[in-house]
Amino acid sequence: MVKVTLLYAKWCHVCPSAIKLWEDLHSKYDFEYKELDVDSEEGQDVISEYGLRGVPATIIDGEVAFIGLPDKDKAIKAIT
Amino acid sequence: MNDLIIIGGGPAGIAAGIYAVRYGLDTYLLERTAIGGQISSSQEVENYPGFSSINGMELMNTFKAHAESIGVPIENKGVTGVRPEDDKIVVSTDENVDIEAKAVIIATGAKPRKLGIPGEDTYYGRGVSYCATCDAPFYKERDVIVVGGGNTAISDALILSNVANKVYQVHRRDELRASKVLEDRARSRENIEFLWDTVLEEVKGNNFVESALLRDLNTNELSEISIEGVFIYVGIDPNTDLIDVEKDKSGFIITNEFMETSVEGIYAAGDCRKSPLWQVITAASDGAIAAAKAYEYIRNKG
């Protein structure tokens, strides 16, 4: 199953839209979904692992798929 | 059929919604994101009357709460096209649903303009950013450059200077367009260095940004500077691809003083419109005028 991880930050104004997008898709499509706060320990680990320098960041199956708010159609394509 | 559809939930769209509902129009506001408006990316807004200093996201939430409290229906939907048809305007949404209205207000705003230089797209999210509020915390104790000389550039250089080791402020002229208040603040920061008459030519790196190639416009000499972040603020590009009305060469919609576009029943307000000033206060003003004129138009149509 496709695994999607969304990294977000409390201070980021684009993040609520990215969260909404992925939560909506998660209710319609079948994939594993996880949200990670960049301020959490696990979030910090993911940032170092991928060398991320921006949020929201979407990691799909171990690859950085989107930085910023993903385009809905592209997001659907990436999980189907 | 709705009376009015407003596309965009930034200051222009929200103000239009508030006015329209108070005029008794059957109104529908469509916003693609959870929090609308470019201003929501500002850490501090200090020029909107009534708020001596407020976070941009908070200001937009206040706008939205006001609109919702008086019954402006705000739907989280993107719009893919707007077309006039006989006596109505048809708005296509990203869920392949068409909505019809007697009039439409385009308040789709704008997005940061790209420089269009090598490396800019390659390193987006890997060192290149257009939003310090979002990304500054990732540049703790790193060296960065900020490109631009307007209010947004200087505001974001100030945000970055709080976390970064060093901020190089790169500007193609020898003076800033930003307000004096912001300029004075930036000049008093020890870790902000101004590089005047200088342009960014290329962003370089491997996996991430490692350096920037700069050109001194006086001597035409190139130099490479080691940095890990590039923040770009060189103006805005309007979100107006979805509509076919008269626009200027940059794509900003041309309106008259009543916010009327070249197509009857279609109005434009805020940053998507050709305007001498793009601010929250002017966007809100545009929205109010557009709603008032749309009301007159709809009423006269009967």
Query: Which one of B33, B35, B130, B163 makes the best mutation probe of the A interface by having the most chain A beta carbons within 10 Å?
Result: B33
Contact of B122 with chain A, judged by CB distance below 8 Å, is answered with no
Closest CA to B263 of B87, B120, B141: B87
Q: Mean of the pLDDT values across residues A37-46?
A: 91
Q: Which of B87, B98, B121, B134 is catalytic?
A: B134
Instruction: Write the Ramachandran bin of B18: left for phi over 0, alpha for psi from -120 to 50, otherwise beta.
Output: alpha
Q: Is residue A50 scored above 80 in pLDDT?
A: yes
Residue % of chain A over a pLDDT of 70: 100
Please give the Cα distance from B44 to B59 (Å, whole number).
10
Q: What is the pLDDT of residue B41?
A: 86
Contact of B137 with chain A, judged by CB distance below 8 Å, is answered with yes
Tens place of pLDDT per residue across chain B (302 aa): 899 999 999 999 999 999 999 999 999 999 988 888 999 988 889 999 999 999 999 999 999 999 999 999 999 989 999 999 988 999 999 888 999 999 999 999 999 999 999 999 999 888 999 989 888 989 989 999 999 999 999 999 999 999 999 999 999 999 999 999 999 999 999 999 999 999 999 999 998 899 999 999 999 999 999 999 999 999 999 999 999 999 999 999 999 999 999 999 999 999 999 999 999 999 999 999 999 999 999 999 87
By CB neighbour count within 10 A (0-12 exposed, 13-18 middle, 19+ buried), where does A20 fall?
A: middle
Task: Report ipTM (2 d.p.).
Answer: 0.76
B272 catalytic residue (yes or no): no
Please give the Cα distance from B53 to B32 (Å, whole number).
27
Q: What is the pLDDT of residue A52?
A: 86
B135 catalytic residue (yes or no): yes
Measured in residues, chain B has a length of 302
pTM over 0.90: no
Query: For B69, what's the count of Cα atoms within 13 Å in the CB-facing half-sphere?
Result: 6
Please give the Cα distance from B279 to B49 (Å, whole number).
12
Q: Which of B76, B94, B129 sits opposite A54 (nearest CB)?
A: B129
Closest CA to B256 of B269, B244, B238, B243: B269
